[in-house]
Amino acid sequence: MIVVVGAGAAGLVAAIFARAGGEDVLLLERTTDGGRKILISGGGRCNILPSSLQPERFVTDSPAHLMRGMLRSWPLAAQRTFFEEEVGIPLALEAETGKLFPASDRARDVRDGLLTLAGSRGVQFRNQTTVTALSVAPKSSVEGRRTWTLKTTRGDIEASAVIMATGGLSVPLTGSDGIGLNIAKQLGHEVHPTYPALTPLTGSTPMLASLSGISLDVRIRAKWQGHTTESHGGFLFTHRGYSGPSVLDVSHVAVRSRSDTPAVFRVAWTDRDAETWTRELSATTGFITNLISRHLPERLTEVLCLEAGLPPDRRGPELRRSERTALVEALTAYQLPWSSDEGYKKAEVTGGGVALTDVNPRTLESTRQPGLFLCGEMLDAFGPIGGYNFAWAWATGRAAGLGAST
């Protein structure tokens, strides 16, 4: 019997494909239902897939070529076919963002569809069951493979193969507590230090805090240890700091820099460059705030002018060169003040995890423990906002399921 631990995105797909070889499959889940991160994803809509993989946007401390191979092992077109034809969920492209959602806009349809498909394939379920330890049984199976013993809160279970899909530490209310990572480490795997990723940042000035609720599209450059990471997209001022896709996509830089020299974040509030702003500010004869407010929310315009040392009634001809320089920098390279982050409580994913060098890149079988397969968020890789992390979960879950079934 193959035992899959964790009924999240990767675990559900792993269980479905583990049945391909005809062996019994038991799916263990610590909550009452499973798939809770699926339910809350995309604001309850579930961004199932992106429209392109873009592996260069993924983050890993393992060799990047291993991550790319695992990500591409199940092409997006084939994943879409799986969901539409096998799970029975029509998908719709959100053209402005390039994201694929269920046509119903209901995340529950995705979770329930995967559960139904797994059940129809013969997967057995055991909810409210937590695995506390995993070890190789002293005896071997009749096929000559190792037999595993899983200690659980509902008794011991023996398995011919085990697929660990317990996720990381993000959004602990969904059942993620890192137990799978602890077990992997106990079994001799290299686990890269974990950290919250795709999480909001905290800390701002009183003037920026007054902008809570304002959202706009921006470009952010995060610089740390001589490297620059860029993101662009939605930015949201919150009462505690900043959120939105552009912030979440670079938040891991802030998190990882807190024990070192803090990262510097610079924001371009529009797609206009410094040369364009300088030319327009030099040419205008009216109020500076009127010019800027054509491209930015009025409240943000006022704050940026004040932080650049300009009174709200300053006109173009009255603008000194030093003031113009300060204002252009505030518009195109504003240094965003930050102090911390929202941590795992609001993190979309967990950074770090089991080193990709510790699994077979094709089957995801452990190279240290034959018969053990690892997938999903447990592995050392994550992508940006926009369905990329589901693509990783689906692809690695499928690979682990097929690997265990052979």
Q: CATH number of the domain at 63, please.
A: 3.50.50.60
Q: Which pLDDT belongs to residue 262?
A: 95
Last residue of a domain, which of 297, 312, 341?
A: 341
Dump pLDDT digits (tens) for 329-381: 999 999 999 999 999 999 999 999 999 999 999 999 999 999 999 999 999 99
Name the amino acid, one letter, at 49: L
Q: How far is CA 244 from CA 46, 66, 97, 212, 214, in A?
A: 16, 29, 13, 12, 11
Distance of CA 28 to the CA centre of its chain: 24
Q: Which pLDDT belongs to residue 316?
A: 93
CA nearest 160: which of 149, 174, 173, 168?
149
Asked if 386 and 308 sit in the same domain, the reply is no
Asked if 204 and 190 sit in the same domain, the reply is no
Taking the C-alpha atoms of residue 393 and residue 398, their distance in angstroms, rounded to an integer, is: 8
The phi and psi torsions of 177 (rounded to 5 degrees) equal: -135, 5
Taking the C-alpha atoms of residue 222 and residue 203, their distance in angstroms, rounded to an integer, is: 16
Asked if 310 and 362 sit in the same domain, the reply is no
Last residue of a domain, which of 291, 313, 341?
A: 341
Radius of gyration from C-alpha coordinates of the chain: 24
Asked if 250 and 283 sit in the same domain, the reply is yes
286 class by beta-carbon count within 10 Å (0-12 exposed, 13-18 middle, 19+ buried):
exposed
- Give pLDDT < 70 ranges for the chain: 139-144
Q: Which pLDDT belongs to residue 140?
A: 54
Number of domains into which the chain is organized: 2
Q: Which pLDDT belongs to residue 137?
A: 78
Asked if 157 and 8 sit in the same domain, the reply is yes
Asked if 186 and 41 sit in the same domain, the reply is yes
Asked if 175 and 94 sit in the same domain, the reply is yes
Asked if 352 and 334 sit in the same domain, the reply is no
Q: Which pLDDT belongs to residue 366?
A: 98
Q: Which pLDDT belongs to residue 146?
A: 87
Asked if 36 and 169 sit in the same domain, the reply is yes
Residue numbers of the domain that contains 75: 2-196+348-405
**Do the strands 146-152 and 155-159 form a parallel or antiparallel pair, or are they unpaired?**
antiparallel
Are 370 and 406 in contact by the 8 Å Cβ rule? The answer is no
65 class by beta-carbon count within 10 Å (0-12 exposed, 13-18 middle, 19+ buried):
exposed
Asked if 68 and 183 sit in the same domain, the reply is yes
Q: Which pLDDT belongs to residue 183?
A: 97
Asked if 174 and 243 sit in the same domain, the reply is no
| Tokens 């990882």 sit on residue | 256
- Quick one: tokens of 187? 């079994």
Asked if 383 and 242 sit in the same domain, the reply is no
Last residue of a domain, which of 294, 310, 341?
A: 341
Give the pTM.
Answer: 0.95
